[in-house]
């Protein structure tokens, strides 16, 4: 009697599991699961885009490019040759929508001038370092425009 009950219970479980797998198989056809994987990849792509945001980020600025054309420092050996300066950059930002359309561009809305200190050799044959201040534009705020 006890084993009969157990058998019946087992049968019920088997039937239930069968029904479940059949219904879920019916729902998730191979074509649809391929599509949902693609959907997932698409969403990840847009998520990565949005992570780029629109904010000032460090970019390399060449000191020589920031000196005026007539600057005497062009003849000097300058250190550093490049500076890390915060700038708004359209290429490294994203101002688009949820479909990955680049609808706006990231542009500077606020900036200030900051003095960077540059070291130079007064004479290339000496070890005598001197310093000068070089004002460079630093972006403090960017917006999608």
Ligand X SMILES: *[C@@H]1O[C@H](CO)[C@@H](O)[C@H](O)[C@H]1NC(C)=O
Q: Which residues bind ligand X (CB under 6 A)?
A: 75, 77, 113, 115, 124, 133, 135
CB 135 to ligand X: min, Å: 5
Instruction: Output the smallest distance, CB 139 to ligand X, in A.
Output: 14
What secondary structure does DSSP assign to 78-145, as a single string?
EE-SEEEEEE--STT-----TT----S-EEEEEEEEEEEEEEEESSTTS--EEEEEEEEEEEEEEEE-
Distance CA 95, CA 83 (A): 26
Smallest gap from Cβ 99 to ligand X, in A, equals 42
Token pair recorded at residue 69? 């054309």
92 or 116: CB nearest ligand X:
116
Identity of the residue, 69 or 75, whose beta carbon is nearer to ligand X in the bound complex: 75
As a whole number of angstroms, the distance between CA 24 and CA 71 comes to: 75
Task: Return the number of the residue (102 or 130) whose C-beta is nearest ligand X.
Answer: 130
Distance CA 24, CA 63 (A): 64
**Of 24 and 124, which CB lies nearer to ligand X in the complex structure?**
124
Work out how close the CB of 121 gets to ligand X at its nearest, in angstroms, rounded to a whole number: 7
Closer of 32 and 133 to ligand X (Cβ): 133
Shortest Cβ distance from residue 88 to ligand X (Å)? Answer: 19
């Amino acid at each position: 009697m006890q084993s009969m009950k157990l058998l019946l219970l087992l049968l019920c479980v088997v039937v239930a599991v069968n029904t479940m797998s059949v219904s879920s198989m019916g729902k998730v056809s191979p074509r649809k699961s391929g599509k949902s994987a693609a959907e997932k990849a698409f969403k990840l792509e847009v998520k990565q885009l949005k992570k780029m945001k629109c904010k000032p980020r460090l970019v390399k600025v060449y000191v020589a490019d920031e000196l005026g054309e007539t600057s005497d420092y062009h003849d000097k050996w300058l250190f550093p040759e490049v500076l890390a300066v915060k700038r708004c950059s359209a290429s490294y930002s994203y101002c688009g929508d949820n479909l990955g359309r680049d609808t706006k561009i990231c542009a500077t809305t606020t900036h200030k001038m900051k003095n960077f200190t540059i070291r130079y050799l007064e004479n290339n044959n000496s070890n005598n370092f001197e310093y000068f201040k070089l004002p460079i534009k630093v972006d403090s705020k960017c917006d999608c425009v």
